[in-house]
Amino acid sequence: MENKKKQTDNDNSIEITIANEKHYGYVNTILDTIEQGSKARGTGIARRSPEYILNKMKEGKAIIAIADGDTFAGFCYIETWSNKNFVANSGLIVAPQFRGKGLAKRIKHKAFELSRKCYPDAKIFGITTGLAVMKINTEIGYRPVTFSELTDDPEYWKECEACVNFDVLKRNNYTRCLCTGMLYDPAEHKGNEMPWLNEEHKKETLLHRWKEALKKIFSIQTASGTYKGSNKDIEN
């Protein structure tokens, strides 16, 4: 297992990328694989329409793994909650023949990287009963939390209605259920990001922070009448 896993960890025949127009044709395969995975585990899932998944691809908010040029191997997407203060990496799926080889970890790393790039100040979170996901999240730097630490956006919790355990969540007034809540708070990892977050991403994140800080300074000065320019001065 260990040898096999090491081989696949460096397997260049599986390409993991941000999904784009080349991948629109995989939407139904993705949804079927998610459905089968959830049936096998005996849990519910947040059911997504083909349009929703397609839209995630169009927005550049989905990660896809393709083996040998055209075989679907895995998928995950990111979505925001509570006015973009929270990001969730959702819909993680690895096709059965590619499981147990480190692929979910590689996909989650890419989704995490995308989340940090798109929403540098947002907290990243997930809820799961799956040991694999708990392991991957813990390695990235997530910590287990109670649901009170997560988004209170009702739209997020509405997704749990499709889960077989929804009655437990409802009975507990949305404060606890069988899933473990996991949270990555970037404020707790300043200067201490995962080593696999590449240098380019780190530079972009820093640049974004500077731009946001400058915007704040300029808007304060504008409000007090000392600055006559516009915020557009410091946009790309």
Ligand X SMILES: CC(C)(COP(=O)(O)OP(=O)(O)OC[C@H]1O[C@@H](n2cnc3c(N)ncnc32)[C@H](O)[C@@H]1OP(=O)(O)O)[C@@H](O)C(=O)NCCC(=O)NCCS
Task: Give the residues lining the site for ligand X (CB under 6 A).
Answer: 37, 41, 92-94, 99-105, 128, 130-133, 135-136
**Is the Cβ of residue 94 or residue 160 nearer to ligand X in the bound state?**
94
Closest by CA to 54, choosing from 92, 26, 94, 89, is: 26
**Is the Cβ of residue 164 or residue 206 nearer to ligand X in the bound state?**
164
Residue in the block written with tokens 């909650």: 81
Closest by CA to 125, choosing from 106, 154, 148, 103, is: 148
User: Rounded CA gap, 175 and 138, in Å?
Assistant: 22
Cβ burial of 204 (10 Å; 0-12, 13-18, 19+) is: middle
CB of 65 to ligand X, least distance (A): 9
CB of 220 to ligand X, least distance (A): 43
User: Rounded CA gap, 199 and 74, in Å?
Assistant: 25
CB of 205 to ligand X, least distance (A): 25
CB of 85 to ligand X, least distance (A): 22
**Is the Cβ of residue 66 or residue 104 nearer to ligand X in the bound state?**
104
CB of 207 to ligand X, least distance (A): 31
